[in-house]
Amino acid sequence: MTTEKKIIVTVDALILRLNNNKHEILMIKRSEKCRAFPGALALCGGKVDVGEDPEQGMVRELKEETSLDATNEMSVVCVRGAPDRDPRGHYLSICYNVTLKDPNQIPVAGSDAGEVMYVPLKDIFEEKHKLAFDHLIIVQQYAKWIIKMGIVESIL
């Protein structure tokens, strides 16, 4: 596998909803054609284009992968940049808490997403799904962040 020799900036969306008294997070199932982690669950996101603001990149990537529209209200939850987090090269990811324009809009898979779905946070924490990259760590950090920020009192 060819690796890139520069740091690539990416964005990841953290989108939470409460459904049937369970906290769920939006995930994609990576296409079997993906070079890295084919078939694994991942956060929605991707590369920031040259000349593009990372927040604009987040809005664009979310639309491309899920057909969902984000508001401009987003907050940085964490930044991940370990050199070995992605087998394709050195990727630095800005992870955003994203608010949808219409929380009831149904996501539709596009671009490199094989499927798009909401997954209960408890299922992720119990490792019932294989997650790509370091996305399990990101989701764990997100859970702590949403409690600290007062968005939720506890994970249901």
Active site members? 115
Round to whole Å and give the CA distance between 128 and 85.
21
HSE of 32, CA atoms in CB hemisphere, 13 A: 0
Q: Provide φ and ψ at 69, rounded to 5°.
A: -105, 125
CB 129 within 8 A of CB 6: no
Round to whole Å and give the CA distance between 60 and 67.
9
Render the burial of 3-35: b for 16+ CB within 10 Å, e for the rest.
eeeeeebbbbbbbbeeeeeebbbbbbbbeeebe
